[in-house]
Amino acid sequence: MVAPRTDGFSELMKSWRAKSGVSQLELALRCEVSQKHVSFLESARSRPSKLMVMLICEALAIPLRDRNALLVAAGFSPSYRESALSEPELAAVDRALTMMLDQQEPYPAMVIDRLFNVVRANKGAMQLQSLLWDCERPENLPPMARNLLRGMFHPDGFRRYIANWDEIATSLLRRVQSEVYARGGDPELQALLDELSQCDGVPKDWKQHLPGDWHAPVETIDIVKDDKQMRFFSTIVTLGTPQDVTLEEIRIEAYFPADEATRRLFMDG
């Protein structure tokens, strides 16, 4: 009999299977192994091969960052790098991101990481940020503006000018909560969710909050500042088949005008 293991793989495997709502039998079918083998892995009576770890990760759609954690727990080296966008290996992707941001001009677009930190922004996004933070120059933006959500929830940030704040705050918090679930309880993302949900002005019942009546086919963020009124809807783009932790976790968030007045405002500069 194989000696009991202490590296934590079995606990991680059980945790991810439970979070995914997959039974031992279903996981066994997805991996094309016996249910007995899955049971032995979860009870630490068997050691997984590297191939078996990878099959389990694929079957449960585990994020790359956490796949590395499972590999290390099973005694293997991580398989996925976490690279900076400035590294030569990511040069082609880096150029593609720049092209996507440029093509979105004059409307706002930004690249954000898994914690909603703004990695890169186009001129339209910087124009909107400067307007809502009362900054004449983008380089004078406050530190909290470097995080998309902290910038929105801060009392001196976007929220002052968001006319449909209750709906937007609820929608954003639910989005973060969904991402926490999808990432298996990511502690840093959970900490951000806890921080945002405690901000003043957030609906206390946001988990049960019912949205108002929308008069458009998509949810919009309605901004009113001085004599300017803007309405946007957003799209989120992710990179397909990433093999790098950084690339899997970044998203391109683009904002489009939801009415003609907003379109003209940005087109006219």
CATH number of the domain where residue 120 is located: 3.30.450.180
Pinpoint the alpha helices (H) of 43-186: 50-59, 64-73, 91-104, 123-132, 148-153, 165-182
Specify the pLDDT at position 211.
63
Question: How is the beta sheet containing 251-257 ordered, strand by strand?
Answer: 118-121, 109-112, 251-257, 228-238, 221-225
pTM given for the model: 0.85
Short-list 99, 124, 128, CA closest to 237: 99
In a domain, 79, yes or no: no
Q: Is residue 3 part of a domain?
A: no
Domain count, the chain: 2
Residue 2 resides in a domain: no
pLDDT of residue 3: 41
- pLDDT of 6: 42
pLDDT at residue 240, as a whole number: 87
In a domain, 82, yes or no: no
Q: Taking a C-beta distance cutoff of 8 angstroms, is the pair 120, 101 a contact? A: yes
> Counting every residue, how long is the chain?
269
Question: Which of 142, 115, 114 has the alpha carbon at shortest distance from 129?
Answer: 142
pLDDT for the residue 2 = 41
Q: Which H/E stretch holds residue 29?
A: helix 24-31
Does residue 234 lie within any of the structural domains?
Answer: yes
Q: Which helix (H) or strand (E) holds 252?
A: strand 251-257
Residue 239's nearest CA partner among 114, 104, 107, 106 is 114
Within a domain: residue 83?
A: no
Domain that holds residue 52: 9-73
Tell me what pLDDT residue 157 has: 84
According to the model, what pLDDT value does residue 10 have?
Answer: 95
pLDDT tens over the chain, length 269 residues = 344 444 599 999 999 999 899 999 999 999 999 999 999 999 999 999 999 999 999 999 999 999 999 999 999 999 999 999 999 999 999 999 999 999 999 999 999 999 999 999 999 999 899 888 888 777 778 788 899 999 999 888 889 999 999 999 999 999 999 999 888 888 999 999 999 999 988 988 888 866 665 556 778 999 999 888 999 999 999 998 899 999 999 999 999 999 999 999 888 76
Q: Check whether residue 63 and residue 189 sit in a common domain.
A: no
**60 and 102 inside one domain:** no
- Tokens 């703004």 identify what position? 118
- Euclidean distance between CA atoms 202 and 20, whole angstroms: 30
> Is residue 63, in this structure, part of any structural domain at all?
yes
Q: Which two tokens stand for residue 189?
A: 């993302």
Identity at 223, one-letter amino acid code: I
Whichever domain contains 29, its CATH number is 1.10.260.40
The rounded distance, in Å, linking the Cα atoms of 127 and 132 is: 9
